[in-house]
Amino acid sequence: MRLEELTEGDSHSQVVVHDLTRTQLVMYAGASGDFNPLHTDEVYATQVAGYDKIIAHGQLTMGLTAKVVTGWVDEADLSAFGVRFKNQVWPGDTLTVSATVTSVTKGPHGPEAELALSTTNQDGVEVVSGYARLREAWTAEGR
Amino acid sequence: MSFSFPVEAGAVLMFARALGDLDPRWYDEASTAAQVHGGVLAPPTFVASAAHFDPDWPYRPHPGVPWHGSGRGPGFPPPASGSGTSLHAEQHYEYHRPIRPGDVLTVDREPGKRWEKQSARAGTLRFEEEITRFTNQRGELVLTAIRVRVVTERPVEG
């Protein structure tokens, strides 16, 4: 979808992870370099840190949240993206992201859109709230 | 502080896989998905992996230094956070220019604001902002990141 096709109030929602596995947390630790044992080491997380299980990296939930924006409006690029981490994400969680267009404006370089983002778990609890601002797709910039 | 962060195609692919994101925009130069964006891009949160190149990153085991995760025993609390937990409260990114495999970014980090809040669940919460600027090999500012960290006095469930 292109930016020009968005209208205020449009929304889109998608499951971004189904039954989050400990293996995916290990993959994310390796890819991101965040080896905090709270995210991959259940012995440490339960016996030292006092949690029931390991907890997912906040940045993983943020990355999963971004998939809805880049997958839905795939012919635009982000100019801003921010989140607040509201509740823990655990192994076994299924996360759904909903994105709603809050404004479409004409910027100096073409149309711009603001999206409100909300990521919830299988119990309907919001784990991340956030926003994204979209601009026209990069073309040859950065080549 | 400042360090160098090479953006490698394989690292970008593995990062996308860890998110379960197989959009060819992140790895296949010949794909329409990449061409629409002028070529392969790094995913929006890829700069999190600059941690690999941060010489002082505390969440990576260093040879010869005791690691706080489990081994023979259950591990021990990291020295900085006492009995509580250091958690990520907010993360904000501003994108100024695209980041593509082959770029070599210079990462500059500086502390931002600090404040405290009382919480019934977790005791005293200490918030700390950290601002990170990523500049490419052409001297262009490509991304500004603001991370808000909170250190809790006690563990916080759910």
Q: Is residue A141 part of a domain?
A: no
Could you say which of B37, B59, B155 has the minimum Cβ distance to residue A77?
Answer: B37
Chain B residue numbers touching A88 (CB-CB < 8 A): 156-158
Do residue B43 and residue A66 have CB atoms under 8 angstroms apart? yes
Chain A residue numbers touching B47 (CB-CB < 8 A): none
Q: Is residue A143 part of a domain?
A: no
Contact B43, A63 (CB under 8 A): yes
Q: Is the pLDDT of residue A132 over 90?
A: yes
**Which residue, A43, A130, A11, A123, is CA-closest to A78?**
A130
Q: Is residue A31 part of a domain?
A: yes
Would you tell me which residues 55-74 of chain A have a C-beta closer than 8 angstroms to some C-beta of chain B? 57-60, 62-64, 66-67, 69-71, 74
Q: Is residue B20 part of a domain?
A: yes
Contact A15, A94 (CB under 8 A): yes
Containing domain of residue A12, as a range?
3-136
Q: Is residue A32 part of a domain?
A: yes
Q: How far apart are CA B9 and CA A102, in angstroms?
A: 34
Task: Tell me the HSE value of B61 on the side-chain side, using a 13 A CA sphere.
Answer: 12
- The mean-pLDDT minimum among A22-26, A133-137, B12-16, B81-85 falls in B81-85
Containing domain of residue B116, as a range?
2-151
Q: Is residue B156 part of a domain?
A: no
**Which residue, A133, A41, A59, is CA-closest to B45?**
A59
Q: Is residue A60 part of a domain?
A: yes
Q: Is residue A142 part of a domain?
A: no
Number of separate domains in chain A: 1
Q: Is residue B76 part of a domain?
A: yes
Q: Is the pLDDT of residue A41 over 90?
A: yes
Please tell me which residue of chain A has the smallest CA distance to B140: A142
How do residues A53-111 score in pLDDT, each as one tens digit?
999 999 999 999 999 999 999 999 999 999 999 999 999 999 999 999 999 999 877 89
CA separation, residue A22 to residues A73, A100, A103, B18 (Å): 30, 30, 38, 12
Residue A78 touches chain B, beta carbons under 8 Å: yes
pLDDT of residue A42: 98
Chain B residue numbers touching A30 (CB-CB < 8 A): 14, 18
Do residue A43 and residue B70 have CB atoms under 8 angstroms apart? yes
In order along its 158 residues, chain B shows pLDDT tens digits of 899 999 999 999 999 999 999 999 999 999 999 999 999 999 999 999 999 999 989 999 999 999 999 999 999 988 765 556 678 899 999 999 999 999 999 999 999 999 999 988 888 999 999 999 999 999 999 999 999 999 888 766 54
Please tell me the distance in Å from A125's CA to the nearest CA on chain B: 10
Number of separate domains in chain B: 1
B109 sits in which H/E element: strand B104-119
How do residues B38-49 score in pLDDT, each as one tens digit?
999 999 999 999
Contact A136, A111 (CB under 8 A): yes
How do residues B90-119 score in pLDDT, each as one tens digit?
999 999 999 999 999 999 999 999 999 998
Chain B residue numbers touching A1 (CB-CB < 8 A): none
**Which residue, B158, B152, B142, B151, is CA-closest to B47?**
B142
Could you say which of A35, A125, A138 has the minimum Cβ distance to residue B37?
Answer: A138
The chain-wide mean pLDDT, for chain B, equals: 92
CATH code of residue A120? 3.10.129.10
Please tell me the distance in Å from A8's CA to the nearest CA on chain B: 22
Please tell me which residue of chain B has the smallest CA distance to A77: B37
